[in-house]
Amino acid sequence: MLASDDPFKLAERYQNQRGQWVVGGLETQVFWPNSPQLVRFENLDFLLQSAVVDDQHRSLPAIAIRANGYGLTVNEGRAAVMRLATAIAWREGKKVDIVMWSEGSHPHRVGRMLNNAFTEYFSGENLHVPQSGEARKALAYYREGLSLGNPFYSFLGFYKAFARSLPNGRERGPWIEQALPRMTDRDAISRREELQAQGDNISEYLATQGRHAIAHAEREDIVDPDDPDDHQRIHLDKPLMRHLAELAMDERLGVPPPSAYERDHLYELEGFRALFDDEQLEGLRRGAFTEGRDYELPDELYVMARKGQTAVHLGLMHMTASCMDDGKVGIELESANGRAFFAFWMDFTNERLIIDPIQGCGLLNATRESRSDIQSEISLEEFKFLIYCNGSVEIWSSDQERRMGKSEAYVLPNNWSPDFAGHQQNLTGLNELLQGMPEIGGEATV
């Protein structure tokens, strides 16, 4: 999708296309969009269908894809839907269970809704694409563990994700012993301490009284589906097994935990990093330009602010200045009509895209002689206010096809708060001026 694309409008157009649609109905604990929304994953467009609840019809939330649009068979379309469901479950750490399928010329709704949660906007960020078949299978088992309500089979799903990461059974025990001190999940740590206090060998316990006791009914030391003590014990073991699976998948299969996205925040400068080679990046990470090397940045960039489903576009802006400022690369941009400016800083040492909407964004002049002038001011007012309300800034390539950088959600300084009444008053005054301004063809806006 392009930077200026609206995922909800795209969804409306997408769902009206005839084709070979594959629809997977879900039971999920993830907050699901309450309006149809388009999400791009693995270079495929997926339709997230909202649930419908009225007197006549109740349907499940769903993931749909027009399979023939990508040359996919029905089974390949189902597999693609499953992979997206797995990526969502991994990021959210919650159940995403595909309980019903349908196919047809349109994405017809399926099923009856059961205990699902909804939101206005579903983020397409941080959906992990596994880099190997083994990683994909481990993630699928992990989603199974999240989605199954039965504690025994849920535990088994997490164990299978762990075992797929460590296929050599003899290696698992020693690996668990060295991984136990590295755990960070609170519930997993609590269960580890309980088992250690009982004198249990945790790796042996998880294999024999967990995995084997669940999977093999012929054994004496089985778990009993009618024994509430067994239910409670395995329920307490699940966070431990789940966290060990996460650690193993990260270490052995290159599947970073979802928390790494915010912890490492590599997304902030991802597109800009790709402009430079290793030698140039090494200099930038030291807070300096590498001697004897030229650094080329795009002449034009597309700027927007986003918070959830709301996006405000400053649009295409051209670079007017760049410099090394206190170890950071500072960039100043100007709108096409010369009315507004926006500045940002790239801190490659700490992998941060830094913004200052108070001082680093504003009007270059007070001119209000054309509709373009007024529209520029309206866009800037909406842009800054959205950032003040914890929005983030996204910098895209001039063709809007590649995101170059994204700031973290902005937080106003202490003792500051967004002035909603003043914002509305400013917009009302500007829109009144705009309505009274004659239209002239060919005007450039922000």
Q: Spell out the domain ranges in the chain.
A: 7-119, 133-262, 265-435
DSSP 8-state code for residue 212:
I
**Per-residue pLDDT, 115:** 55
**Per-residue pLDDT, 265:** 92
143 in helix, strand or coil?
helix
**Per-residue pLDDT, 220:** 72
**Per-residue pLDDT, 122:** 84
d(CA 444, CA 13): 29
The CATH number given to 7-119 is: 3.30.70
- Structure tokens, 162: 């762990």
Q: In degrees rounded to 5, what are phi and psi of residue 329?
A: -85, 115
Distance, C-alpha 108 to centroid of its chain:
27
Question: Using a CB cutoff of 8 Å and minimum separation of 24, what contacts does 354-358 make?
Answer: 354/328, 354/407, 355/387, 355/393, 355/407, 355/410, 357/383, 357/384, 357/387, 357/388, 357/410, 358/413
- Structure tokens, 301: 């960039």
Sequence-distant (≥ 6) Cβ neighbours of residue 23 within 8 angstroms: 49, 62, 63, 64, 101, 102, 103, 104, 107, 108, 109, 110
pLDDT along the chain (446 residues), means of 10: 87 94 93 93 95 72 96 94 94 90 90 67 88 95 92 95 96 96 96 94 93 84 82 94 97 93 92 96 95 94 94 96 94 93 97 96 89 90 95 96 96 89 92 84 54
d(CA 446, CA 314): 5
Nearest alpha-carbon partner for 412 in 392, 382, 379, 389: 389
Residues 101 and 83 sit within 8 Å (Cβ to Cβ) = no
Residues 109 and 57 sit within 8 Å (Cβ to Cβ) = yes
